[in-house]
Structure 1
Amino acid sequence: MQKSASASSLGPGGLDLSDMFFKPIQNTSPPSPTKRRTKISVIGAGNVGMAIAQTILTQDLADEIALVDAQPEKLRGEMLDLQHAAAFLPRTKIMASTDYNVTVGSDLCIVSAGARQIAGESRLNLLQRNVALFRGIIPPLAKYSPGMILMIVSNPVDVLTYVAWKLSGFPSNRVVGSGTNLDSSRFRFLIADHLDVNAQDVQASIIGEHGDSSVALWSSISVGGVPVLSFLEKQQIPYEKETLISCGPRPETPLALPPPLFLELLEHSKKG
């Protein structure tokens, strides 16, 4: 004789409530048949790396996010923070490890890991320390995800992007750096603030190497497509820039907010 369902599990009309309410959550929303699964790995769980991971998560840019860092306790804490927030965000699998094998099958790897510049340290010394770190980072990433796009945001970013290209053995069109994105973002903000307009309406660029040697394209500045060079007081812009630097800007936020760039890189990786 078959055992009947317990009264506690039956609702009105004899419906089995246990089957209705206690099915695994992941099975209630089947994956889209048209969406290709995407995996993004972030190397370095510092301020910049975690800001990037949060952007990927909140913008629903990937089905999987893998975090790698050399400090296991910090890494676990950062992973838990993202996993707890994921209850209110799109369904993304979040994993973390000190081992690079967690990045296997990535479409995009973003490297933010790097040594911090010590007060009085030259960029050359910083470069030497970060090149040593990259020798242990880039080869395993290339091994576990040979078809990925590799994006570098560690400083000095332009030289380290070249180093990453050489260490990876990838074609040059699959290794990119954040370049002067941060410089251009700050430049646009300063102009927008001076003219009391929205920064999204400002078209302005910084080119060259990220850092002191970069160049502002003054002649191409426009607001809503209208040239504004004649309206700018050139002496005030450098002063405001110097003030911004002395206030101690946090570079992680503007570096982490270019979803269109992520999407373009992911689309490129899908095309191979």
Structure 2
Amino acid sequence: MLTEVTATRYVTPLREGGSLPGLVEAADLGTYVMKFTGAGQGHRTLVAEVISGGLARQLGLRVPELAVLELDPVIGRAEPDEEVQALLRASAGPNLGMDFLPGSLGFDPLAYSVSAAEAGRVVWFDALVNNVDRSWRNPNLLVWHGDLWLIDHGATLTWQHNWPSAASAADRPYDASDHALAGFSPDIAAAAADLAPAVTAELLADVVAEVPDSWLIGRDESADPDALRARHAEILLARAAGVHRRITLGPPTPTRPPSPPGWLTAAAPRRAGEAS
């Protein structure tokens, strides 16, 4: 299960995200980006964060460690922002924490090159979990110590927002034309050959078991959390087998930023921080 730790101090809101995550300190002396159960996006985004983040880590992709942060809303009494105070009051109990990566930089395709192999693995993974929020407009990628890290998976597992239609999710296509890494010639075939066999029923059972019951059922106390875990695992297992055949890499939208310059893409990719 995820590590459980108590939040001890609310540091500052991070207003880049629509759910108003916040930076907090915790009893283990760690610093976390906290995503709140009381945010307007609801519990299901936390479910997506845990399952997709855990699956990415199991597949060897870099994702910050996750934890369950216990929040006593009293720590927000000194917060002058009324919106933040209301969010803290609505989020008493377990919330999601993502390990803070100090000094990390937002991914910029003009400053950081990604190999075709790594780009293929990220695009394949995003297709597997149906990530609709890793475009060039909002990459949700960080560069930390010269490596690429994946963050913010609340917009994955979109089938959980409409369970009656979830049966079709296994065959749902994925348009990666505007993906943040589409310009790096992602080797999707190699990624599928490497990663698809690793997505087993046993691995998925371990991943979905990490999600707290209360996040799965939300306000529906009649829901069966184990049944919901099984549905997620079933869809992901089915998608893994053939999702690479349903990935589209077509022309990007006209408003796409310019492609990385030739000195970044012509030769072997150079990572940020490497010597020239």
Q: Which has the higher contact order (CA 8 A, sep 6+)?
A: 2
Task: Calculate the TM-score normalised by the size of structure 2.
Answer: 0.21
Q: Which has the larger radius of gyration?
A: 1
TM-score normalized by the length of structure 1? 0.22
Higher relative strand content: 2
